[in-house]
Every structure is written in structure tokens, then in C-alpha cells.
Structure 1
Amino acid sequence: MATQDSDPMTNSSEGEKGLESSSTTEKNGSTQEGTLPFTAEREYVKGIKLILVLASATLATFLMMLDMTIIATAIPRITNQFHSVTDVGWYGSAYSLTSASLQPLTGKLYTHISSKRVYLGFFAFFELGSLLCALAINSRMLIIGRAIAGIGAAGLTNGALTILSACIPKQQLPVMFGIVLGLSQLGLALGPILGGTLTEYVSWRWCFWINLPFGGVVAIILVLIHIPDQIIKDKLPLRKLLPKLDLLGFGIFLPSAIMFLLALQFGGNQFSWSSPTVIGLFVGGGVTFIIFLGWEWRIGDEAMIPFSILRKKIMWASCVVRFFYMGDIMVVSYYLPIYFQTVKEVSPVRSGYYCLPVILVQMIFAVGVSGAVSKVGYVVPFMVACGVVMSIGDGLYTRLGPSTSTATWIGYQIVSGCGNGLGTTIPIIAIQSLLPAEEQSIAMAILIFCQNFGGSVFLICAQAIFDNKLHKLIAEYVPGADVSAVISAGATGWRNILSEQQVSGILRAYAGSIGGTFWLALGTSIGTLLFASGMGWVDIRKNEDEPVE
């Protein structure tokens, strides 16, 4: 029988020994044939030790989400210093390319190597990337730093959930997931506010420096505290470990993902959608992905993305639901601030404050629903409710215009936040509750990849809708205006080239164009609703040791 992989720092640290005394163990049921063995005594974490682990996981995930949006309001200052307007797209895409491409591999790493070590490794990359960005002397160095930070970010969400699953009894996990993910998502809302404040009063570099002291606290806590693994992991030499990671499969998947994401990045921006470059990237990505699927099928359960897991109803349904759900979240998160900045004509920092209602309501509902689902036992009612309420909220967003009152747009955000919060943790809870422990890290990696991919795809679609409608509506509402000049002037710079009589028409054009993106968001929320019932009517309270088909 395999022995559990222990951390050398755990055995050598006196402080660690003291903290370990607060750990408790619980009896675990019999294991099933064909799965990795569980310990006879299942070790959990309690007391101050649990609080510290929970706080560290929340803070690390918060920093990752903060890093996704904090740079938005700093970009103008960065481009002024580095004279790098043409590099703006890479400040975000360098991060997302590495993060999304590495995501499936994280599942294998967390399955076969100590979760604590892997998590600290990814967190070290995230901190290193932040350091390089803070010290950047030119645009290229900043882009490299963002790419390295993206490598680290790839394993943080999956790692946090894997660690919590090992530290906390199964029946308490839904509430803990709700707390971690709910609080972490504050980072998305606070990013533009904090980024604008730091850029204006200190320096844009502090958008990255801020990750280092807080990250240091997280690292120290996790190094000192013993964290058990979900499953017993063999201590394998490198030559035996590498084949289990399916590095060949990853080597095929990586260029496929990069080509497809680059095609989405380039299409309609640097190149037209019909250009040989974009078409070539799509074709190359598609062909490479087919080869990847063939390889994964050939090696079976050793694959990075095993078909045996994908075939399970709860798995594929959760992935599709998350694909549409995150598409909705990203489209609204991106275009709601643009509405406030262009149509309501407020600063980027103030637009961040104006978006707080949806984030705060989502956080509250995420925590509450996570507790409720552990009592009810069924995930489908909550996911269906999520799709319904999100659809209502997105439908209301399509009504936003220049004359929309403050009370009205706050009300719309409250409805939207309720819908978002209803579905924040449901697919995660379903996978963690209904799949065997040895499959959960891989399943979570696949789920997170699908949600990131969905966000990227629908943001590109939203951008295309926005651009097309804006060209059309400016020509319609402001006859005689130079459409290209107005758009080139930027979302707020157009005031410098137009007369006061033309302002109302431009505001209507921007409102209508943004409304078009909210119609797309409505489509994604309907997609969420349509696939929600596919997650199955299985009681998560009664399936701790039963296989899921």
C-alpha cells in the first residue's frame, strides 16, 4: 500500500509540530476497487489552523482575481511611460494565454504531487510575475511578467479548492467554497478602483507591488501549517512520475490552445477575421486539437483529460454550464463599466464604485446558496434558478440608456447579482461531492479551463457586436459625423471633436451598442438555463462512496 507524501518542512519545523497538534482525524469508509486508496484515518484541520488555511486560500485567490482587473485603469499611464499603445492587448492576453493553456496540466500535478508543494510552486510563479511587472523597464519586460504571473494563476483556483477539500469534512465544503469564492470575487470589482487610486496617487507599479507583501504572508502560513492530501500519493522517482503527467499530451494541447486563443485575440484587431493569419491559426489549432483528442483516447485513464471523466453526466454538464455562465459574467463585467464611463460619463474609478452592487449581492448569495445546497442536497434547482434570474437581469441591462436613473441601474444590478450568486459555486460543489477524490483535481482543472475559455470566446463575440453596432448607430444618430474619427478618439475622447448638439446622438449610439452586448449576455444565461438540468438529480448528501455515471 502506498504511503502518504509528506512535506520535509513539516517534519523539520518545530512551529509546524505545534500547529499539527490541532489536527484531527476522522474514520473514512471503505474504498472502491480501482480507485486510489484513501487513508484508514482521514485527517482534517480544525481550530485556528483551519482559519489560517481558509484565510490564506481566500487571500491568494483574491489577489489572483484582483490582478485580472487592476491593470485596466493603469494602462493609460503605462502606455505613456513606455510609449507602447500597440502593446495594450498583450498586457491582458499574455496573462490569459499562459493561464488557460496550462490549466489542464494542473489537474495532473495536484493528483500525483503533494498539493501543498504544487500550490506553493504556482504561487511562487504568480509572485515572480508580479515582481517583474513592478520592476519593468520596458513594455516587453511587463508582458513577460504578465505571462509568468499567468502561469502561476493557472494553478491557484484549482489548488485552493483541492486544499480545502483535503482539510475540511465533505459536508462543510459547500459553505467553505462559497466563502472563499464569494470573498475572492471582490477582487474583480475592487481591481479598477484600487488600480485607479494607486496609479493616480502613488504609481502604476504598485498595482503589482501590492501582491508581494500579502503573498508573502500567504506563503509563510502555508509553509508552516501541515496540509493533508485528499488521497495517498506514491513517492515516485522522476522517471516514473513524468509518464503519469501525460506531458506528451500537454505538449500537443499547448500549441492548440495558444493558436486558438491567438486567433481570437487577433481576429478583428490586428487582422481581419478572413485574413490568412487568423484562418491559419484556427485551422492549425483545430487540427492539433484533433490530434490531441486521438492521443488522449489512446492512453485512456492516464490522459491529461481522461474520456472516462468527461463521459460522466455531471462532468460534461457542469463544463457546458460553466462555459455559458462565465461568458455571461465576463461580458457584463466588461461592458457595464464601459456603460458608466461612456454613457453616464464618470471616471474609471467611479465606474468601479458603480459596479459594486452586483458584486456585493453576488458574494452574499454565493455564500448563502452554498450553505443551502448542502441542506437541500440537489444542485439542479439552484442552477436552474441561476439561469432564470440571470436571464431576467441581462434582459433588464438591455434597457440601460442615457436617462436611466441611479435607482434603476442599482435595481438591475441587484437582480443580476442574485442570479450570478445562485450559480457561483454550484458546478464546483457538484464535482467535489459526486466524483471520487482521485478524479477531483483533474475534473476541476477541466472545469476551470472551460469557464476561462467561455469567458474569452464570448468577450470576443461581444467586442464584434459592440464594434459593428457602434459604426452603424453613430452613422444613424449623428449624420455627417466621421465615424472612424469618433471611434478612434476613444470612449471619452470623442467629446473633443464633436459639437454639443451631437453629444446626445453619440450617447445613444454607445448605449445601443453596449445594449447589444447585453443581448449576447442574455443568450449565454439562457444557455446556462438549458443545460442546468443536465447536471442530474443526484443527492450530494448520500453519495460519498458511490460512483457517478
Structure 2
Amino acid sequence: MAGGTGDSGEGVGGKETSDTPREQSEKEQENQEYVTGLKLLAVLGSVTLSGFLMLLDGTIIGTAIPNITSQFHSLPDVGWYMAAYQLASAALQPLTGKMFTYYNNKWAYLVFFTIFELGSLVCGLASSSSMLIGGRAIAGLGGSGLLNGGMTIIAGAVPLAKRPLYTGIYLGTIQVGTVCGPLVGGLLTEYASWRWCFYINLPIGAVACIFLTLVKVPELTSKKPFTLSVVRETIPELDLPGFALFAPAAIMFLLALQLGATNYAWNSSTVIGLFCGAAATAIIFLCWERHTGDRAMIPFSIVKQRIVWCSALNGAALVVSLLVAGQYIPIYFQGVLGYKPAMSGVNTLPSILSQMATVILSGFLIQKVGFYLPFAAVGSAISAVGNGLVSMFSPSTKTGMWIGYQIVLGGGRGIGMQTGLIAVQNALPPQKLPVALAFLIFCQNFAGAVFIEVANVIFTQSLASEIRAHAPSVSPKAALAAGASPSAVRALVPKGSPELGGVLLAFANSVDKVFYMLIACCLGGLLCAPGMGWVDTRKNNKMPETG
């Protein structure tokens, strides 16, 4: 089969079959008992509420970051507040696919959700920037299984033909968390404390846990009851050595980026040593994964299929755009335009509302039209244009312009956001879906962690040079230590100083350069879109074609 989807190969138990992925899907559907009516609503409601909290946690910190950096004097750490979450999530992500393959979906999901809640508690109690970063890492470990687990549960609850619609409803509805995040984060930061941006997860999370415990969650594939013998049998399948190799490689790489941007020169032995260590460990990790075969944390038999890796790269580009923009647009609104946190959150709604609307609409249209490839290409192209428009933000940008630019940006992301998930669901048999979906989300989280840190490097390096050029009396070190809250930025110069305009321009130009990077990311996603396959999802009796 074109695109590498002809690996009819082995199922979970290693039994060989000559069936195509589509034929295997049809056989699974014949034996699957799907849920409908109120039961389906209960299943969707439980995973949606959990997903809502996860996405709320991702965006609620955006409007709080300027105040956090000012309180801890930690603007150089701004990248880690997001990257620690994304890195921890990416490190564990491939293992979540294995866990949902072998263990009961509901209880595995609840374990991940409990860890996510623990991380939120640590963040709320943080007394330093380092403790906050640690809490974000714990939350990331828990969050690693929520999106994949939610989609795995939905895939087992509804037939393949209806998955685009319900996946669109799920992704679109949990985007309400993204919508509420900036506004709720701004209100809590301004009228209570930024700590409540994390405490808010605890009571809502308790309700979600109770709700999910009482709901019957269908399984995508049949599994053995959970026993110690099952744990002993499945531990070798989890590829823990692969995890032990990947995690330090990723940490060393991101730490090299962080230290090179702040404490050390790029040609210092410390930074070079970290890069070399990361590269060496990554090579060993890839060799191990190849040696392990289908039992690897990232099975090459799945990853090498063109539809899978093209879908992963296309989706990762859009997620990078979402995460990085969600961190730096609030810095623009607060640090440059001087809005308070609550109003800053309101100002980000145009991009998030347009994204929420288009992700639901695209799910509906894909089900009607049948072809997802046009949506992937158009979404990436519009996202690149949107990032280009946002890169023109300045201290004098008119309100109508920054509203319109954000609508374009959010609309493009929403159009293409779920196309990779739909492509993979139509290319692989059900027993391989948890691992494949985990790989897609792994790529998104790892790319998010890397490019958030790259964005931090671009921003901090640019701010230092821009401050020297436009406000020479201000120390670049003082600008980095001040944070990005409105009062801290304006306190860099005496009241009434003519250099205030230069300071604001320096911050605006530094934010703009971050969006140059996002333009390139989205264009890269556009180049990968054709490899996702020209597949008609309505023809359940035909194999995927990748013309």
C-alpha cells in the first residue's frame, strides 16, 4: 500500500494477519459495542471536563506570566514555565499509548489525572521560580495521558465513521478551556493571586474524578483484568530503557538552550558539552528503538509510515504556533500596551474564539466532504499568514488591527488542528491507534517544549540588543530581571522619560521576532500536508490511498 500503510503485520498479541488496516477496522467494529444516548453523553462529558482543565492550565498561565516573572525576577525563566510542562508531557507521552493499549482505559486515565492535579497543587504553593517549574513538570507528566486517553476512549465509544464529528466536538469543546484561560487567569491574577490559576484545578478536578469513576468507559480493544501478573507481562512492552534514554537527552538539549540564552556564552564548554551529550544520548536512543522493534516506545514500523510522520509534523507546527503565541501575545498586551491581566485575557479572545469555532466546523465539514487533506493545507497556510500579521504588532497598532490579525491566526489553527488525528485513525487498525495517537501528541509536546525554549532564546537575545538600540540608559540585565508586567516595564525608566517609547518598542520588536519563527514553523507544516494522504474517510470499504 502507498504511504507505508500496508503493514498488515502484527496485532497486539503478535498474531499475523493478511487483513488491511481498513479490513481490521471493520472486523473490530462488527464486534464492538458502542454507546449511545445518555451513556455516550456521560462518557464524552467526563473526558471533556478533564480535557477542559488541561487546556485551561495551558492558557491560564499566559496572562499570569508577566506577574510571575516580576515577583520572582525571572524573565529569563519564562520559557521553562511552559517548556517544563511540555517536556515532561513529551517524555512520558509514548508510554501512555502503551499503557492505554494494555491497561483499563478508565483507571489509567484517572491515574494520569491525579498526577496532573498534584502538579497543580505544587505550582500553587510554589515559593520560587524553580519550585514552580518543578510543579509544571509534575503536571506535565499527568497531562501526558489526558488528551491521548480522551481520544482513545472516544475511539472505543463510537464507530470509525463518526469519529471525525465526535473528535471535533471533543476538541472544540475542550477549547472552551483555552478560551476561559486567558480571561480567568487575568481575573484571578489581578483580583486574587496568580496562585489561584493552579488552585482552581483542584475543586473542579475532584468533581471530574468522581464523575469519571461512576461512568462506564468502553474499551477500544479487549484487555485482560488488571493483576500483578498482567503488570509483569506488560512492563517489558513499555520500553522503560527507551524512556530512560530519551528523558536526559531532551533535558540536556533544552538546558543548553536555556543556559546559552542567559548564563553562558554559546561557545562555552558547558553549553557545548550539553549539546554533545544530548546528541550522543539521542543517537543511542534511536539505535535502541530500532533494535527493540514493535515493542519500542516509538515503534519505527508505525512512525516510518508517511501518513503518520507527515501528520505528526503538520500537527506539531500548529501546536507550536498555539503554545508560543499564547505565551508572547499576553506579554505584548501587558508589557507593551499596558493592559492589566484581566483585560489582557479579554484581548486574546479573538484568536481563541475563532480557533474554537473553526475546529468544530472543520470536524463537521470533514465528515461531510470526506477529505481532510485540503483542511490540513489550508489551515497551515492561513496560520502562516496569521503569524505574519501578528509579527507586525507595534506600540501603536490599532485595536481593530490586532483583533483582525488574531482572528486570522486562530482560524487557521482551528481548521487544521485535528486533521492529523483523523488521518492516522483512518490509516491504522484499532489496536495500533493508542500508540500512534500517543506518537502524534508526543511530537506536538516535544516540538512545543523545544520551540518554546527557542522562542525564549530569540526573545531574550533580541530584547538585550533592542534595549541597547532604543533605550541605551537601561541595562539589558535590568530589563530581563524586571519581568513583563505593565508596572515593571514602565519602572525601567523614570516617570516622564522620553526613553519609555524606546523601551516599549524594544519589547514589541522582540515579540515580533518570535512570530517570525512561527511563520517558518507553519510553512514547514504546509510542506508536510501533502504526505498526509488523499483519503476519502466516507469510503469505509476501501483502503486509504496516498496518491
In the TM superposition, what are the counterparts of 1:371-410 in structure 2 within 5 Å?
A: 371-410=364-403
Name the residue aligned to 2:206: 216
Change (3 A) 1:272 1:184: farther
Q: Does 1:535 align with 2:527?
A: no
Q: Does 1:68 align with 2:63?
A: no
Of 539-548 and 82-91, deviating more is 82-91
Change (3 A) 1:465 1:212: closer
Name the residue aligned to 1:22: none
In the TM superposition, what are the counterparts of 1:186-201 in structure 2 within 5 Å?
A: 186-201=176-191
Change (3 A) 1:272 1:101: farther
User: Distance between the aligned counterparts of 1:320 and 1:134, measured in 2?
Assistant: 34
* Structure 2 residue matching 1:45: 3-state secondary structure: coil
Q: 2:522 aligns with which of 513, 521, 525?
A: 525
Cα deviation, residue 204, structure 1: 4.1
* Structure 2 residue matching 1:227: 3-state secondary structure: coil
User: Distance between the aligned counterparts of 1:529 and 1:180, measured in 2?
Assistant: 25
Q: Is the 8 A contact 1:174 1:373 kept in 2?
A: yes
Residue 356 of structure 1 aligns with an amino acid whose one-letter code is L
* Structure 1 residue matching 2:107: 3-state secondary structure: helix
Q: Is the 8 A contact 2:312 2:444 kept in 1?
A: yes
User: Distance between the aligned counterparts of 2:410 and 2:128, measured in 1?
Assistant: 39
Of 295-304 and 87-96, deviating more is 87-96
Cα deviation, residue 220, structure 1: 1.9
Name the residue aligned to 2:242: 249
Cα deviation, residue 83, structure 1: 9.3
In the TM superposition, what are the counterparts of 1:219-368 in structure 2 within 5 Å?
A: 219-235=209-225, 237-368=230-361
Q: Is the 8 A contact 2:249 2:281 kept in 1?
A: yes
User: Distance between the aligned counterparts of 1:77 and 1:480, measured in 2?
Assistant: 24
Residue 526 of structure 1 aligns with an amino acid whose one-letter code is L
- TM-score, reference length from structure 1: 0.86
Residue 535 of structure 2 aligns with an amino acid whose one-letter code is V
Name the residue aligned to 2:150: 160
User: Distance between the aligned counterparts of 1:278 and 1:364, measured in 2?
Assistant: 43
* Structure 2 residue matching 1:500: 3-state secondary structure: coil
Change (3 A) 1:261 1:37: farther
Gaps of 5+ in 2: 1-11, 13-18
Of 205-214 and 131-140, deviating more is 131-140
Q: RMSD of the alignment, in Å? A: 3.1
* Structure 1 residue matching 2:521: 3-state secondary structure: helix
User: Distance between the aligned counterparts of 2:504 and 2:145, measured in 1?
Assistant: 42
Of 224-233 and 460-469, deviating more is 460-469
In the TM superposition, what are the counterparts of 1:126-205 in structure 2 within 5 Å?
A: 126-134=116-124, 144-205=134-195
Name the residue aligned to 1:19: none
Q: Is the 8 A contact 1:115 1:229 kept in 2?
A: yes
Name the residue aligned to 1:516: 513
User: Distance between the aligned counterparts of 2:54 and 2:82, measured in 1?
Assistant: 13
Name the residue aligned to 1:450: 443
User: Distance between the aligned counterparts of 1:295 and 1:544, measured in 2?
Assistant: 38
Q: Does 1:413 align with 2:406?
A: yes
In the TM superposition, what are the counterparts of 1:498-509 in structure 2 within 5 Å?
A: 498=494, 499-509=496-506
Change (3 A) 1:62 1:479: same
Q: Does 1:48 align with 2:41?
A: no
Residue 118 of structure 1 aligns with an amino acid whose one-letter code is A
Q: Which whole-Å deviations, capped at 9, do the CAs of 1:421-440 have from their partners, x for residues lacking one?
A: 11111111111222111111
Q: Is the 8 A contact 1:70 1:194 kept in 2?
A: yes
Change (3 A) 1:449 1:265: farther
* Paired-residue identity, %: 47
Alignment size in residue pairs: 522
- TM-score, reference length from structure 2: 0.86
Higher relative contact order (CA 8 A, sep 6+): 2
Q: Which whole-Å deviations, capped at 9, do the CAs of 1:483-520 have from their partners, x for residues lacking one?
A: 44445444443433244322223333332222222222
Change (3 A) 1:545 1:405: same
Cα deviation, residue 370, structure 1: 0.7
Change (3 A) 1:230 1:257: same
Change (3 A) 1:227 1:349: same
* Structure 2 residue matching 1:44: 3-state secondary structure: coil
Name the residue aligned to 1:12: none
User: Distance between the aligned counterparts of 2:106 and 2:446, measured in 1?
Assistant: 26
* Structure 1 residue matching 2:301: 3-state secondary structure: helix
